Amino acid sequence: MDDSHQQKPLAKRLAWLVAIWAGSVLALGVVSLLLRWFMNAAGMTT
């Protein structure tokens, strides 16, 4: 097997997975806050 195609360490791959997951959760939270603000500005309150 060729040494240039070695897999990256498991910890590094898991760190990337967690970082991407956290970024997507944060982005979804920001979008939901923006939607809530716009709905409140338009008078759509509960």
- Over residues 1-46, the pLDDT tens digits come to 455 567 789 999 999 999 999 999 999 999 999 999 999 999 987 6
Global pTM exceeds 0.85: no
Q: Cα–Cα distance between 9 and 11 in angstroms, integer?
A: 5
Q: Where would I find the H helices in 1-46? A: 10-41
Whole-number pLDDT of residue 2 = 52
Whole-number pLDDT of residue 4 = 56
Residue type for 26, please?
A: L
